[in-house]
Amino acid sequence: MAEAHLALGYVKFRIDWDWAGAETEFKRALQLKPGYARAHEVYALYLAIQRRLDEAMAEMRRAQQLDPLSTSVSNGLGRILHFQSKFGEALAQYRKTLELDPDYAEAYFSMGMSFLGLKQYDQSIDAIQTAIRLSGRRQVIIAMLALAEGLAGKKAEAQKIYDEMLEQSKHTTVSPYYFGIILVGLGETDRAIQCFDQAFLEKEGIMIYLNLDPVIADVRFDPRTQAIVKKMGLPVGPSAAKP
């Protein structure tokens, strides 16, 4: 079953960080069912994490051909453009996604990150706040709001979110990655990298994005961050990995 191979590949990818094993499963799923849009979409994300962005875009476009009304795929196209630092093109794609579903939280979240890449801070904050409202206040989006506020110079607002999450962590799980992202916005690089290292030790799934988002490029290319990425088995340095 193609669906079973896709599910197994996803576990190997997001949880086990077994990159070679995951790719084998994704390719097997597509071999069994070439017209499986979801498999093309997830494989595209895998390729993006490997920083094989041209291949990722080709897979996501194939997914869109197969499922043109998917908001997830439409948004995924924008995210790959964002990872390529093509922020304007990404924003145009997110707007197409919102034509499919005007209340799609992920599109507003992604839009906020691309506005952040353009240093259009007010637009970024507005979009992320909309995503928070539509998503039921997902922790990851709140952390990204603090990142945007911190980079916009609104340190007090970012610090308030940090303090609120610290209080929440006494009662529920809060990923160290989220604290790290907020600390990037606050300009506290050393503490941020310590949080990322802790998130690595706890094998937080969201760590797969650490070496990809251009918005946090300065911290990404810090040798200490690159050492964490290398321990994860992901490509290091500014160049994309080769297939």
DSSP for 8-38, written as a single string: HHHHIIIII--HHHHHHHHHHHHHH-TT-HH
Q: Which of 11, 32, 33 lies closest to 22 in space, CA to CA?
A: 11
Question: pLDDT digit string (tens) for 105-114?
Answer: 999 999 999 9
User: What's the residue count for the chain?
Assistant: 243
Summarize the confidence of residues 28-40 as an average pLDDT: 97
Q: Which of 71, 14, 11, 84 lies closest to 37 in space, CA to CA?
A: 71
Question: pLDDT digit string (tens) for 57-96?
Answer: 999 999 999 999 999 999 999 999 999 999 999 999 999 9
Q: Which of 142, 147, 116, 114 lies closest to 129 in space, CA to CA?
A: 142
The answer to the question of residue 19 being in a domain is yes
Question: pLDDT digit string (tens) for 181-195?
Answer: 999 999 999 999 999
Give backbone dihedrals phi and psi of 212, rounded to 5 degrees, phi first: -125, -40
In the chain, how many domains are there? Answer: 2
The answer to the question of residue 103 being in a domain is no
Q: Return d(Cα 56, Cα 50) in angstroms, integer.
A: 9
Domain boundary among 17, 51, 68: 68
Mean pLDDT of the chain: 94
The answer to the question of residue 124 being in a domain is no
Question: pLDDT digit string (tens) for 131-161?
Answer: 999 999 999 999 999 999 999 999 999 999 9
Q: What is the pLDDT of residue 211?
A: 86
Q: What is the pLDDT of residue 217?
A: 87
Read off the CATH number of the domain in which 20 is found: 1.25.40.10
Instruction: Give me the domain span that covers residue 38.
Output: 1-68
Element (H, E) at 230: helix 223-232
The answer to the question of residue 208 being in a domain is yes
Highest mean pLDDT: which of 36-40, 134-138, 169-173?
36-40
The answer to the question of residue 217 being in a domain is yes
The answer to the question of residue 143 being in a domain is no
